[in-house]
């Protein structure tokens, strides 16, 4: 899909070529060459204030036969000192989205014209590849089709004076990360009747077959033998059988130093007996966003193949209500033997993750990251742009924060002080209370899961605010975001780099 070239000629043919234009700076690199090929009209328009240089604004210029390429996108980059990685993703996303809307098959970048002190040319290639994948993703619909067939980008060419094949490798890596997030998005956006725990297990099987992962799917009978009382209690209200999905990626000879990802796989959440309000309940198909992030990360890992052992564990069920459903006041026993008083059946994600975390430890995970659309409270605390985190280990938390900075997926650490942990012990009849109250709701929910991590290094990521995008933008349409798929994969990749 990606190609490189050092020189642009008038006969170079693409549907579109995109060049960057900074405020108060002459066109440079390939942009200067494009300007020469069209009789320096671009620099004249820029000098006269006829070209927008505001960041992300695209001015289409038609070449009218002066070049084989039909359209030039002059893309505003704003002030050079403000163009960081986040801004570049937005810019490249705007290009990808507009090119797709115009049904382009071939797209070229004057990549060196986007270069600044903040971004090396190879970094630009990574960001361009990632942003093209993210910006061209479309949510599947189930309408009777009458529209024209979608056209996808087939070829992307990078022009730069110092182009090398390393740019292709870099762009392909970025594109792989974007496609992994898109896989997660597609799962989140699938209606609950079409993505049951059984279907989620099939998706994992397809991923295992694609990359050669080991896979194991525990059935209800297996869970009963292992004493997974928390997962089974949540699943009791549904006719759909629960699944405990396990993927194993082992590039090393020995199964040690294992990075464990645990994703909440609630394929639909009604709230159970503590039923949710009817408003927006249809969005609860996204309550398996943690599982989607883990599968998206495993897709990236399968493509990039870091030399790091990775275990993925996904406890999956529905949370419904029937005559067998879990009730407030019930006492259940988790896999590790702890008893739990259920004060709220809508606090079910932490229950299935309790058994997921315990099982990941049993399978050899030596560090744990769980990902879940866990609490509405995290939206109140952090809004819809930042993921909340709780940890018992400074080193692992720092690793994850570093990975999140690289992927542009913001994380904010919440406190884990003793008074919060004490709130979990407020049951008179069980070891733990699954819902000790509204105060510090995101913190106590995360720390509940931490009770099952024990002394194993662990980070919890609450993506209830970030897993769903209600305001479409250049990098993501309305619906699932695939958040944390890229960050989890980056965490694994960084561990490989550290051990080299």
Binding site membership: which residues?
Answer: 264, 269, 287, 346, 348
Token pair, residue 338, equals 């702890």
Distance CA 4, CA 346 (A): 52
Strand partners, 318: 268
The residue annotated as part of the active site, out of 350, 361, 486, 495, is: 350
For residues 118 and 86, the answer to whether their CB atoms sit within 8 Å is: no
Q: What beta strand segments (E) does 57-210 contain?
A: 58-62, 71-78, 106-110, 155-159
Is 350 catalytic? The answer is yes
**Positions at the binding site for Mn(2+):** 264, 269, 287, 346, 348
Among 74, 37, 84, residue whose Cα is nearest residue 54: 74
Token pair, residue 382, equals 């952090």
Q: Residue 262: in which H helix or E strand, if any?
A: strand 258-263
**b or e along 128-158 (b: 16 or more beta carbons within 10 Å of the residue's beta carbon)?**
bbbbbbbbbbeeeeeeeeeeeeeeebeebbb
Q: What beta strand segments (E) does 386-428 contain?
A: 387-391, 411-413
Distance CA 352, CA 334 (A): 9
For residues 157 and 167, the answer to whether their CB atoms sit within 8 Å is: no
CB atoms within 10 A of CB 399: 21
∠ CA 415-420-423, nearest 5°, is: 165
> Strand 106-110 to strand 155-159: parallel, antiparallel, or no bridges (unpaired)?
parallel
The residue annotated as part of the active site, out of 220, 276, 327, 421, is: 276
Taking each continuous run of H as one helix and of E as one strand, the counts in the chain are 15, 20
Among 262, 261, 291, residue whose Cα is nearest residue 187: 291
Catalytic positions, written as ranges: 276, 350
């Amino acid at each position: 899909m990606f190609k490189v070239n050092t020189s642009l000629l008038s006969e170079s043919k693409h549907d579109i070529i995109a060049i960057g234009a900074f405020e108060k700076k002459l066109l440079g690199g390939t942009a200067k060459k494009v300007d020469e090929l069209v009789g320096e009209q671009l620099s004249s328009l820029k000098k006269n204030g006829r070209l927008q240089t505001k960041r992300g604004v695209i001015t289409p210029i038609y070449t009218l036969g002066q070049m084989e390429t039909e359209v030039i996108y002059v893309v505003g980059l704003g002030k050079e000192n403000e163009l960081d990685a986040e801004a570049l993703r937005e810019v490249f996303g705007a290009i990808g989205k507009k090119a797709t809307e115009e049904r382009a098959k071939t797209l070229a970048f004057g990549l060196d014209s986007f270069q600044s002190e903040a971004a090396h040319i190879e970094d630009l290639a990574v960001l361009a590849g990632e942003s093209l994948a993210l910006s061209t993703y479309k949510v599947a619909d189930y309408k009777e089709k009458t529209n024209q067939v979608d056209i996808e980008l087939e070829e992307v060419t990078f022009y730069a004076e110092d182009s090398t094949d390393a740019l292709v490798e870099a762009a392909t890596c970025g594109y792989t990360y974007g496609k992994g997030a898109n896989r997660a998005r597609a799962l989140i956006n699938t209606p609950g009747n079409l993505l049951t725990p059984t279907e989620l297990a099939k998706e994992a099987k397809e991923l295992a077959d694609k990359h050669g992962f080991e896979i194991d799917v525990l059935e209800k009978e297996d869970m009963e033998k292992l004493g997974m009382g928390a997962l089974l209690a949540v699943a009791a209200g549904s006719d759909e059988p629960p699944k405990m999905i396990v993927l194993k990626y082992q590039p090393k000879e020995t199964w040690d130093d294992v990075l464990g990802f645990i994703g909440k796989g609630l394929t639909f959440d009604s709230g159970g007996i503590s039923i949710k309000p009817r408003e927006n309940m249809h969005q609860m198909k996204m309550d398996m966003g943690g599982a989607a992030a883990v599968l998206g990360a495993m897709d990236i890992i399968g493509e990039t193949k870091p030399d790091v052992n990775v275990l993925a564990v996904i406890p999956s069920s529905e949370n419904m209500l029937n005559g067998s459903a879990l009730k407030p006041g019930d006492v259940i026993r988790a896999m590790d033997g702890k008893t739990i008083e259920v004060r709220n059946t809508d606090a079910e994600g932490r229950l299935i993750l309790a058994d997921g975390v315990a099982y990941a430890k049993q399978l050899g995970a030596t560090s744990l990251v769980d990902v879940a659309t866990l609490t509405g409270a995290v939206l109140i605390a952090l809004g819809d742009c930042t993921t909340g985190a709780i940890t018992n280990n400074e080193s692992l938390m720092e690793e994850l924060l570093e990975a999140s900075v690289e992927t542009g997926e913001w994380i904010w650490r919440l406190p884990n002080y003793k008074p919060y942990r004490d709130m979990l012990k407020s049951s008179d009849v069980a070891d733990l209370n699954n819902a000790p109250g509204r105060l510090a709701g995101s913190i106590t929910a995360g720390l509940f899961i931490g009770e099952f991590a024990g002394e194993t290094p662990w980070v919890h990521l609450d993506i209830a605010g970030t897993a769903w995008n209600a305001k479409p933008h250049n990098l993501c349409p309305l619906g699932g975001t695939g958040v944390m798929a890229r960050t989890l994969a980056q965490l694994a990749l960084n561990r490989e780099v550290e051990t080299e």
